[in-house]
C-alpha cells in the first residue's frame, strides 16, 4: 500500500489583495475627511463682550489676597488699590483662554491704557507649563499665580473669566468665556476708568 502525500499550498503572508484594497479606500476616506474639516470648518470667531454691570453677589473687588510672579516674588493684590485693573483668569491648557490673548495684548500695548494694570492669573498647576508658554508666546500682560485661594467674588463656573475693576474698587464688568477684548467699547471703558472716574 503506497503512502499518499497531499501537497498543501501555504497561503501567502500578509493581507490578501482585497483586504489591502479596502484598507486603501478607508484610509483615503479618512484623509479626505480630515482635509475637509481643516478647509471648510472655520475657526470660531471671538465676539465682543457686552459692557454691563456684573450680575454677581457683590460688585466690590476683594484685595485681601496675594499672587506670585514668574520670579517667585509675592505680589499682594492690595498693591493695585486705586488703579484700574483688567483681571483675566486663565490657563495654558485652555484653548479659549489662549485664543483671546492676542486681543488682550493689543489692549496692553495701547498708549492710552498705560495706567491700566493688566493681570493674567493662571490656574496652571505646573510652573514649567507657564514658563514654556510665556517664553513662546510672550504675552504683554503680567502673568501671575494665586498664592491664596481666589476670592469668591472672582470665582466662576469656567475660564477664561475676566473682570474690569475701577479705581474705586468696584467691579465695572465681568465676563466668562473668550472675547475680543480690543473692541472699541472696552477700550473706551478702560480709558474712562483710568482717568480716575468709575462708570455710572
pLDDT tens, position by position, 115-159? 999 999 999 999 999 999 999 999 999 999 999 899 999 999 999
What pLDDT, on the 0 to 100 scale, is given for residue 149? 92
Average pLDDT over residues 11-24: 59
Average pLDDT over residues 93-117: 96
CA distances from 198 to 36, 38, 152 (A): 49, 45, 22
Query: How far is residue 30 CA from its own chain's centroid?
Result: 30
**Residue 60 scores a pLDDT above 90:** no
User: Is 82 exposed, middle or buried (CB count within 10 Å of its CB: 0-12, 13-18, 19+)?
Assistant: exposed
What pLDDT, on the 0 to 100 scale, is given for residue 101? 96
Max avg pLDDT among 18-22, 24-28, 147-151: 147-151
Please tell me which residue, 105 or 41, carries the higher pLDDT value. 105
Across 114-180, the runs of DSSP E, i.e. the strands, are 117-122, 142-146, 161-165, 171-176
Give percent of the chain with pLDDT exceeding 90.
63
What pLDDT, on the 0 to 100 scale, is given for residue 196? 75
- How far apart CA 28 and CA 35 sit, in angstroms, is 11
What pLDDT, on the 0 to 100 scale, is given for residue 32? 59
The angle that helices 184-194 and 95-108 make with each other, rounded to 10 degrees, is 50
Query: How far is residue 77 CA from its own chain's centroid?
Result: 22
What pLDDT, on the 0 to 100 scale, is given for residue 71? 87
- How far apart CA 184 and CA 200 sit, in angstroms, is 18
Whether residue 164 contacts residue 52, with contact meaning beta carbons closer than 8 Å, is answered with: no
149-188, pLDDT tens digit by residue?
A: 999 999 999 999 999 999 999 999 999 999 999 999 999 9
Give percent of the chain with pLDDT exceeding 70.
69
Amino acid at each position: 500500500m503506497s503512502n499518499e502525500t497531499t501537497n498543501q499550498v501555504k497561503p501567502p503572508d500578509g493581507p490578501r489583495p482585497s483586504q489591502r484594497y479596502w484598507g486603501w479606500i478607508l484610509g483615503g476616506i479618512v484623509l479626505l475627511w480630515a482635509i475637509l474639516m481643516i478647509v471648510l470648518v472655520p475657526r470660531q470667531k471671538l465676539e465682543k463682550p457686552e459692557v454691563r454691570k456684573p450680575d454677581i453677589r457683590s460688585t466690590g473687588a476683594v484685595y485681601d489676597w496675594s499672587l506670585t510672579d514668574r520670579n517667585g516674588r509675592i505680589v499682594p493684590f492690595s498693591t493695585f488699590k486705586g488703579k484700574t485693573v483688567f483681571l483675566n483668569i486663565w490657563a495654558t491648557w485652555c484653548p479659549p483662554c489662549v485664543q483671546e490673548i492676542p486681543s488682550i495684548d493689543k489692549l496692553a500695548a495701547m498708549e492710552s491704557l498705560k495706567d491700566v494694570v493688566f493681570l493674567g492669573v493662571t490656574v496652571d498647576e505646573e510652573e514649567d507649563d507657564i514658563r514654556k508658554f510665556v517664553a513662546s508666546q510672550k504675552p504683554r500682560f503680567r502673568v501671575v499665580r494665586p498664592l491664596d485661594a481666589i476670592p469668591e467674588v472672582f470665582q466662576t463656573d469656567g475660564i477664561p473669566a475676566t473682570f474690569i475693576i475701577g479705581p474705586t474698587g468696584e467691579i465695572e464688568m465681568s465676563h466668562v468665556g473668550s472675547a475680543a477684548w480690543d473692541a472699541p467699547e472696552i477700550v473706551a471703558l478702560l480709558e474712562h476708568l483710568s482717568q480716575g472716574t468709575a462708570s455710572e
